[in-house]
Amino acid sequence: MTTPPSAQTALRQPPPIPANSLRVIALGGLGEVGRNMTVLETQGRLLIIDCGVLFPEDHHPGIDLILPDFEYLDGRLDDIEAIVLTHGHEDHIGAVPFLLKRKPDIPLIGSQLTLALIEAKLKEHRIKPYTLTVKEGQREKLGVFDLEFVAVNHSIPDALAVFVRTAAGTLLHTGDFKMDQLPLDGRLTDLRAFARLGDEGVDLFLTDSTNAEVPGFTTPEREIAPAIDTVFRNAQRRIIVACFSSHVHRVQQVLDAAAKHGRKVAMVGRSMVRNMGIAAELGYLHVPDGVLVDVKKLDNLPDNKVVLICTGSQGEPMAALSRMANRDHRIEVGKDDTVLLASSLIPGNENAVYRVINGLMMLGAKVVHRGNAKVHVSGHASAGELLYCYNIVRPRNVMPVHGEWRHLIANADLAVATGIPRERVLVTTDGGVIDLVKGRASVVGEVPCGFIYVDGSSVGETTETLLKDRRILRDEGFITCIVVIDASTGKIAAGPEITARGFAEDQAVLDQVIPKVEQALAEAIGNGVRDEYQLQQIIRRTIGGWVGGKIRRRPMIIPVVIEA
């Protein structure tokens, strides 16, 4: 199994792309669950598969979204034939507006629902895209790339895998998929097409890794309907369902259960209302007559006849459910309300989700989630399904995608177990560059691939240093020290005045460090140091050393030296 570039001691720049080769550049989605983006290059032309976002975790304070690193595309936007979108989840389409702001006329290719969702998002960014709607079985020639689309089953309708034919070889990208044999919309993963493409020859197989650690097969969506029905049957007051704003299948099950039990449904949250409106308009969501009502009319209905569908299943701080848990929403959760978390936990979001669960339960609500009831199934193929795919496709080379490091390793082991030589299974991380030459794929280097942060209205301006400062302020607090220096004598005219915020110790404790600051400054000034910056550094080191040794804390220290 190929060593990942990130495990090497230094960045290994890839060589110039060889003639008659297909280069694959992973710009996101490897080593993480999110910001999926893969670039294909051959004969000087580029094709992008997916362009998604990663949602921030606790160690990203103040960050709204994390984007793929577009640096590799600098100066090459005109070489891009198109962006192919496998399905409409945010971790696959959410970064499209930020890329199209650089070049709005890059064509977008995807299924009807996928393009409808991204077009609605782009409208908010005032971008009118060039789009090409495709469906399973369709074949499109885009310059040097010949694309064929294959139906796959996922937790959102209209998902597609893409088979790419080039003069340098072939590539099959599954996108996110599973092999649900009883899908709610009747749309199966097309294993016959996978087998046909395998017979033609798949030189490089990019496969979804998210559930590679899970043995067996992913539970069919239909099997959770009884659990949802039980929640509705036992609920005494309101039911609040939290799920992804694009999870059409889950919303369909909730609407059907509400109709069965005589409840009205209101959707809460701009993205939920928008996406489900699109799904209903296109016929992917079937709303029973008289079930859906405007959220403003809920006050006129008895609590035991109400269902709310909202976002926030991942503990997102600004989502509706989190705000309800914090009593910062017009909808007040109370005793005997039932909250149903109808989504799986994305790795890294556990603490945020449990914080929301605890907050809701403190308000008296009953919280039903995957940990205590069978109310959600994954949208990703488990190990048994992946083994089937490897045996059907029989690829020459494999590159696991979409997953944390442990997922990629588990997927790679499955490929090897089916007889694919280990040296032809390429496990790499974001930035990894793979060349396919004469049917043989290998990792040839790495390109820069950092996190690009969306912070309010700024994109890419927030740095790791700034985030570190925010974490220190959040976790350790800060200390300011103001000293006035006499411009004529160089001696201390006033201060040091020390103030602390977000610091557990009593202010009086800090009085102990004042003589040390005075002594350090006096010695420095006596040695001829008059530069304000140097004096600030002396204050920072003196206070930092004392606080670290005495109190075992590392607050941010802000020294201010004023010459008067």
Element (H, E) at 197: helix 191-200
pLDDT reported for residue 533 = 75
Q: Among 3.10.20.580, 3.30.365.10, 3.40.47.10, 3.40.50.620, what is the CATH number of 466-563? A: 3.10.20.580
Residue 517, SS3?
Answer: helix
Q: How far apart are CA 136 and CA 496, in angstroms?
A: 72
Q: Among 3.40.640.10, 3.60.15.10, 3.40.50.1170, 3.40.50.300, what is the CATH number of 20-217+378-456? A: 3.60.15.10
User: What is the token pair recorded at 417?
Assistant: 């177990």
Class of domain 221-368: alpha beta
Q: How far apart are CA 357 and CA 313, in angstroms?
A: 10
> Distances from the Cα of 397 to the Cαs of 169, 322, 353, 424, 499, in angstroms?
11, 44, 38, 5, 61
The amino acid present at 295, given as its one-letter code, is: V
Vertex 167, ends 162 and 168: CA angle to 5°? 85
The full 3-state SS of 25-76, as one line of letters, equals: EEEECECECCCCEEEEEECCEEEEECCCCECCCCCCCCCCEEECCHHHHCCC
pLDDT reported for residue 269 = 82
Element (H, E) at 454: strand 452-455
pLDDT reported for residue 9 = 42
DSSP character at residue 186: S
Residue 145, SS3?
Answer: strand
Q: How far apart are CA 411 and CA 295, in angstroms?
A: 44
pLDDT reported for residue 178 = 94
Element (H, E) at 480: strand 478-485
pLDDT reported for residue 473 = 60
> CA neighbours within 13 Å on the CB side: how many for 482?
6
> CA neighbours within 13 Å on the CB side: how many for 399?
32
Residue with tokens 């859906």: 292
What are the extents of the domains in the chain? 20-217+378-456, 221-368, 466-563
Closest CA to 163 of 149, 177, 145: 149
Closest CA to 135 of 332, 335, 282: 282
> Distances from the Cα of 237 to the Cαs of 93, 234, 354, in angstroms?
37, 9, 23
Phi and psi at 206, nearest 5°, equal -100, 115
User: What is the token pair recorded at 121?
Assistant: 């998002």
Q: How far apart are CA 226 and CA 461, in angstroms?
A: 48
79 and 46 Cβ atoms separated by less than 8 Å: yes
Q: How far apart are CA 235 and CA 230, in angstroms?
A: 8
Lay out the sheet containing 338-341: strands in order across: 264-267, 306-310, 239-242, 338-341, 366-368
Q: How far apart are CA 49 and CA 36, in angstroms?
A: 8
218 and 178 Cβ atoms separated by less than 8 Å: yes
pLDDT reported for residue 7 = 45
7 and 153 Cβ atoms separated by less than 8 Å: no
38 and 27 Cβ atoms separated by less than 8 Å: yes
The DSSP annotation for 248-301 comes to HHHHHHHHHHHHHTT-EEEE-SHHHHHHHHHHHHTTSS-PPTTTB--GGGGGGS
- Kindly give the residue spans of alpha helices, DSSP state H, lying in 305-463: 320-325, 350-362, 383-393, 405-417
Q: How far apart are CA 316 and CA 60, in angstroms?
A: 12
290 and 262 Cβ atoms separated by less than 8 Å: no
pLDDT tens for the 564 residues of the chain, in order: 555 544 444 568 899 999 999 999 999 989 888 889 999 999 999 999 999 987 766 666 556 678 898 989 999 999 999 999 999 998 899 999 999 999 999 999 999 999 999 999 899 889 999 999 999 999 999 999 999 999 999 989 999 999 999 999 999 999 999 999 888 888 999 999 999 999 999 999 999 999 999 999 998 888 888 888 888 988 888 898 888 888 888 899 999 999 999 999 999 888 888 999 999 999 999 999 989 988 888 778 888 898 999 887 676 666 778 788 888 778 888 888 898 887 766 666 677 787 888 888 888 888 887 767 666 788 899 999 999 999 999 999 999 999 999 999 999 999 999 999 999 999 999 999 999 999 999 999 999 888 877 666 566 566 666 666 666 666 667 778 888 877 777 677 677 778 777 665 566 677 777 888 777 877 777 777 667 777 778 777 887 777 777 767 777 777 887 777
Angle between helices 112-124 and 270-281 (to 10 degrees): 140
pLDDT reported for residue 8 = 44
Contacts of 191 (CB under 8 A, 6+ apart): 179, 388, 389, 392
Length of the chain: 564
Torsion angle defined by CA atoms of residues 473, 503, 475 and 552, in that order, rounded to the nearest 10 degrees: 120
Looking only at the bridges linking them, the beta strands covering 432-437 and 440-446 are antiparallel
DSSP character at residue 153: B
Lay out the sheet containing 45-49: strands in order across: 131-133, 108-110, 80-84, 45-49, 37-42, 21-28, 432-437, 440-446
